[in-house]
Amino acid sequence: MFFPKPEVVKRAHIKNYEEVYKYSITHPEEFWADAAKELSWFKPWKQVLHWQYPYARWFVDGETNIVYNCLDRWLKNDRKNQLALLWVGQDLEVKKYTYEQLNREVCQLANALRSLGVKKGDRVTIYLPKIPEQIISMLACAKIGAIHSVVYSGFSFEALKTRIEDAQAKVIITANSYPYKNKIINSLEKTLQAIKDCPSVESVIIVNRISERVKIPEDIFSKINFYQWTELLSKQDTLCSTQIMNANDPLFILYTSGTTGKPKGVVHSHGGYMVGVYLTSKLVFDLKENDILFSTADPGWITGHSYMTYGPLLNGITTLIYESVPDYPHPGRWWEVIEKFRPTIFYTTPTAIRALIRYGEDTPSKYDLSSLRILGSVGEPINPSAWLWFYKNIGRESNLPIMDTWWQTETGMHIITPLPCVPLKPGSCFKPFFGVVADVVDENGQSVGKNKEGYLVLKTPWPAMLLDLWQNPQKYRETYFEKIKKKTKKFLYFTGDSAKIDDDGYFWIIGRNDDVIKVSGHRLGSAEIESALVANQKVAEAAVIGKPHPVKGESIKAFIILKKAIQPSEDLKKELNLNVRMFIGPIASIDEIEFVEKLPKTRSGKIMRRVLKAQELQLPVGDISTLED
Ligand code: WT7
């Protein structure tokens, strides 16, 4: 156990976790209503929580807009001159936006979107690299009540296309091209390929991250209007009214991988999401007015929504964004950014930590990291040795608390997480956040008891929980509420993770139990990768599993049955890997391919990935009574 320093507890918003937790779960509605009252509402809610299986609705009939709370309200006081966004490019170019300046650009883009006919409820796809315009775009959409769908810039055009089509997006915001290490990535080319057959798209706005302008083949895209960001914005007013939103109106869709071939559109709200993200940012990172939060995520993922964009701005602090990767042009780049820009909170992933460990302790020791006060980890289980390295080399053993925050795209906010005032165990994400009851259960929903592995479930709703899956309520119900057999309609949310609770009530996350693979913290579905593989004419069948990997957490192994007369070869392996990269993106690169004659299946023909995995890792195979052969 690592106990917090008395100074840390003294300055923390929360000094006694257990006491506040007890109150929060006996009075959840009062607890969350108090948090909501720290924010501004156009109209108060009539009911804090309404649960009707399978939907929880928070702050019912309340009216607000998350952007009003991120921007508008700070303009009324000195906070308007504080830095909202501090952006550092790969070449250390700096762009600074105070709250007032950020608001101005957001208003201009919001007016521009309105001029293009974007109305409340319309979808806008944001396919941008990590540049200020990415955040400005999200806020501008939310301001006018449009629903943003941010697609990670590393996704391929196929993946982008699926997401545009599913959301039926009217407008796409993209970049011409951008630097990534020593390469230049052409986003516009990918965007054009994606929108060729997307009739919903009316307009495309192009940000010139790199100075040259790209020519648009107007003949192919005669039905789509193209605009240059700077030109479009220069014509717009810097004032724009903020749309009044119902607390349960959708704020954004974020696509994530599940157990089927198609990604799911997780929908979050203006009201509940805002309250949950506001409070967790404030208490977990112990935010005070002058804090600078450096998260290494990308707004293409949920962390970039909740703790790079909305959380920091709702708390009126500065979000520090570094455009590129930790080890380019040299392995000390993140530490250099910390020395130079002096963030107080540093939030990253176990994969990044493990990758940096390989460069040795000498690298971080050359830099002044003394501005840091709190460290954070997210995305996958952090192994105790990586935790200890982080503690020693980045925390400099000066006892900086490490917040190992467990949550998901669906939860929107931290769910099982330490607070700076609690004793930590390396590798455990501590206990549930306020108002949340979590447990580890068997397939019938019965608690398994201490130190036993089981399914991680949440037994109470929380304000930032997903509203639904975009246009797929049935999938929503099945995925989160029907996996566990139970007789009542009581709230029981299935996380898809396996976990254990120890004698002290600390949670230990083991990993996913549902064919979702976490490669470098990125969520990929086995089925998605398999569909990319079987799209190749030479492949008859494919099965994909995740295997433990010392740096990436998990790596991908594919078992392939080739069509008759097709010969296995190294070249074919390369070709298949390329197929997957085209279909999903470089994050889905396959590490190992094995050509096989047969795959383990159930009598109904479903591939049993669990059996493949057990065999591969030499683990007990478990129940194989349904195995056909
Ligand atoms: C899955 C959710 C939450 C933001 C980024 C990932 C795993 C997440 C932790 C943690 C162990 C973790 C879980 C979860 N996960 N945080 N601190 N310790 N595992 O969001 O892509 O929706 O993935 O990430 O398996 O279910 P996501």
Residue 606: the pLDDT is 86
Confidence band of 215 (pLDDT split at 50, 70, 90): confident
Would the pTM of this model clear 0.85, i.e. be above it?
yes
- Phi, psi of 475, rounded to the nearest 5 degrees: -65, -40
Confidence band of 623 (pLDDT split at 50, 70, 90): confident
* Nearest ligand 1 atom to alpha carbon 297: 5
Between 27-41, 257-271, 429-443, the lowest mean confidence (pLDDT) is in: 257-271
Residues 6+ away with beta carbon under 8 Å from 448: 440, 441, 442, 454
Q: Tell me what the mean pLDDT of segment 443-469 comes to.
A: 97
Confidence band of 438 (pLDDT split at 50, 70, 90): very high
Q: How far apart are CA 592 and CA 580, in angstroms?
A: 13
End-to-end CA distance of the chain: 49
Order across the sheet with 454-458: list the strands. 438-441, 454-458, 493-501, 507-512
Q: Are residues 173 and 76 in the same domain?
A: yes
- Phi, psi of 505, rounded to the nearest 5 degrees: 85, 10
Q: Can you list the pairs that 22-29 forms with residues at least 24 positions away whose Cβ atoms lie under 8 Å?
A: 24/434, 24/435, 25/434, 25/435, 25/436, 25/437, 25/460, 28/435, 28/460
Confidence band of 621 (pLDDT split at 50, 70, 90): confident
Q: Are residues 147 and 271 in the same domain?
A: yes
Query: pLDDT (tens digit, 9 = 90+) per residue, 346-399?
Result: 999 999 999 999 999 999 999 999 999 999 999 999 999 999 999 999 998 678
* Nearest ligand 1 atom to alpha carbon 523: 21
Residue 349: the pLDDT is 97
Q: Are residues 260 and 367 in the same domain?
A: yes
**Does the Cβ of 409 fall within 6 Å of ligand 1?**
yes
Q: How far apart are CA 280 and CA 291, in angstroms?
A: 15
Q: What range does the domain containing 596 cover?
A: 520-616
Provide the pairing of β-strand 203-207 with 516-519: unpaired
Q: Are residues 157 and 288 in the same domain?
A: yes
Query: pLDDT (tens digit, 9 = 90+) per residue, 588-618?
Result: 999 999 999 999 998 888 889 999 999 999 9
**Domain annotation covers residue 469:** no
Q: Are residues 105 and 205 in the same domain?
A: yes
Residue at a domain's end among 436, 465, 485: 436
Confidence band of 508 (pLDDT split at 50, 70, 90): very high
How far from 515 is each of 178, 406, 512, 558, 617, CA to CA, in Å? 33, 19, 7, 13, 15
Provide the pairing of β-strand 345-348 with 292-295: parallel
Q: Are residues 240 and 386 in the same domain?
A: yes
Confidence band of 627 (pLDDT split at 50, 70, 90): confident
Q: How far apart are CA 426 and CA 6, in angstroms?
A: 20
**Domain annotation covers residue 416:** yes
**Domain annotation covers residue 461:** no
Q: Is the pLDDT of residue 626 over 90?
A: no
Q: Is the pLDDT of residue 184 over 80?
A: yes
Q: Are residues 238 and 355 in the same domain?
A: yes
* Nearest ligand 1 atom to alpha carbon 509: 11
Q: How far apart are CA 506 and CA 432, in angstroms?
A: 9
**Domain annotation covers residue 507:** no
Query: pLDDT (tens digit, 9 = 90+) per residue, 291-307?
Result: 999 999 999 999 999 99
Q: Tell me what the mean pLDDT of segment 125-150 comes to.
A: 98
Q: State how many domains the chain has.
A: 2
Residue 144: the pLDDT is 98
Residue at a domain's end among 372, 405, 436: 436
Residue 597: the pLDDT is 94
Q: Are residues 418 and 538 in the same domain?
A: no
Kindly report the number of other CB atoms within 10 A of residue 368's CB atom: 11
**Does the Cβ of 496 fall within 6 Å of ligand 1?**
yes
Q: Are residues 430 and 529 in the same domain?
A: no
How far from 190 is each of 174, 193, 203, 437, CA to CA, in Å? 10, 5, 16, 44
Q: Which residue in 94, 67, 100, 95 sits closest to 81, CA to CA?
A: 100
Of the residues 509, 516, 552, which should be mutated to test ligand 1's pocket, given the most ligand atoms within 8 Å of the CB?
509
**Domain annotation covers residue 489:** no
Residues 6+ away with beta carbon under 8 Å from 7: none
Confidence band of 568 (pLDDT split at 50, 70, 90): very high
Give the CATH number for residue 146: 3.40.50.12780
**Domain annotation covers residue 498:** no
* Nearest ligand 1 atom to alpha carbon 429: 17
Residue 289: the pLDDT is 94
Query: pLDDT (tens digit, 9 = 90+) per residue, 51-83?
Result: 999 999 999 999 999 999 999 999 999 999 999
Q: How far apart are CA 303 and CA 217, in angstroms?
A: 36
Q: Are residues 524 and 375 in the same domain?
A: no
Q: Tell me what the mean pLDDT of segment 204-208 comes to.
A: 96
**Domain annotation covers residue 382:** yes
Q: Which residue in 484, 288, 349, 506 sits closest to 418, CA to CA?
A: 506
Q: Which residue CA neighbors atom 2 of ligand 1 most closely?
A: 408
CB 546 within 8 A of CB 259: no
Q: Is the pLDDT of residue 583 over 80?
A: yes
Give the CATH number for residue 589: 3.30.300.30
Residue 12: the pLDDT is 97
- Going through 470-538 in order, the beta strands assigned E by DSSP cover 493-501, 507-512, 516-519, 522-525
Q: Is the pLDDT of residue 445 over 90?
A: yes
Q: Are residues 525 and 430 in the same domain?
A: no
Residues 6+ away with beta carbon under 8 Å from 527: 259, 260, 261, 515
Residue 604: the pLDDT is 82
Residue at a domain's end among 436, 462, 485: 436
Confidence band of 211 (pLDDT split at 50, 70, 90): confident
Taking all residues of the chain, what is their mean pLDDT, rounded to a whole number? 95
Residue 374: the pLDDT is 97
**Domain annotation covers residue 459:** no
Residues of the chain with pLDDT > 70: what percent?
100
Distance of CA 408 from the midpoint of ligand 1 (Å) = 5
